Amino acid sequence: MRTIGSKGEATERILKKAGVRLIAKHGFEAVSLRMLAKEVGIQAGSLYNYIENKQDFLFDLLTSIIRDLVEELSGKLEGIDDPRDRLRAFVSEHITFHTRRKEEVFIGNMELRSLTPDHLRVVLEMRDAYEEILEDIIHDGIEAGYFKSPDAGTARLAILAMLTGVSTWYRPSGRHKINTLIEQYVDFTFGLLHAAEHVPPAAAELSGKPVAASNA
């Protein structure tokens, strides 16, 4: 997307939010730039001040979603060295992001098919880099003797499938409170890795055992 000053940047943010709503509802192929212009209340011709074309708009949307996810995760992991605490932070952030930004996550998965080969390659490389953060955490935990898994890569895929699946059924108005849900999925993840010395926060408080700081 083009950048044309602070007002232009604000309009771009509005366009992105509108684009997410429309694509999540109708699908990328069914959404025209004219529809997008109408959604935000500007003339169709004015749209080209901000968007080169529809394909570039989708590419910009999907890459910005992944960048936001990585930036938020990096902030949560900063200063944490113990792989067990890093894993807790990863689970917490992944679920938080995917339940808070469900429409973006949805189009981020469903509309990969609509990208050009060059754009798809870039997006998949960005996703791989994010997933490698989890794999590195698992590997470090195995090396330290905290986790057990025959293959960190396979464990990464299993954990991501489990965590990402939450966004398909979670409802803020449902019976699951997000903090409780995160604690449960931290336990599920540690169980999958046969984690040693993992004491759930609530259990640790009851037993009087110290618990490392957790972002969950």
DSSP assigned state of 50? T
For the chain, which domains are there?
Answer: 1-52 (1.10.10.60), 61-207 (1.10.357.10)
Q: What percentage of the chain exceeds 70 in pLDDT?
A: 87
Q: What is the pTM of this model?
A: 0.84
Q: How confident is the model at residue 214 (pLDDT cuts 50, 70, 90)?
A: very low
Taking the CA atoms of residue 188, residue 106, residue 72 and residue 160 in that order, the dihedral angle to the nearest 10 degrees is 30
> In this model, does residue 211 exceed pLDDT 50?
no
**Cα(17)–Cα(155) distance, integer angstroms:** 34
Predicted confidence (pLDDT) at residue 167 exceeds the cutoff of 80? yes
- Give pLDDT, residue 36: 93
What is the C-alpha separation between 157 and 153, in angstroms, rounded?
A: 6
Cβ contacts of 45 within 8 Å, gap of 6 or more: none
Count, in order, helices (H) and strands (E) of the chain.
10, 0
Q: Residue 195 and residue 197: Cα distance in Å, rounded?
A: 7
Looking at residue 64, its amino acid is: S
pLDDT value at position 213? Answer: 38
Helices (H), 81-200: 83-100, 102-110, 117-143, 152-164, 166-169, 178-192
Q: Of all residues in the chain, what percent carry a pLDDT higher than 90? A: 75
Q: Tens of pLDDT along 140-152?
A: 999 999 999 999 9
**Single-letter residue type at 215:** N
Radius of gyration of the chain (CA): 20
Is the predicted pLDDT of residue 209 greater than 50, yes or no?
no
CA–CA separation, 112 and 132 (whole Å)? 20
**8 Å CB contact between 200 and 214:** no
Q: Where are the alpha helices (DSSP H) in 27-116?
A: 33-40, 54-77, 83-100, 102-110
**What are the distances in angstroms from CA 158 to CA 54, 132, 138, 152, 153?**
34, 13, 12, 10, 9
pLDDT by residue (tens digit) across 76-98?
999 999 999 999 999 999 999 99
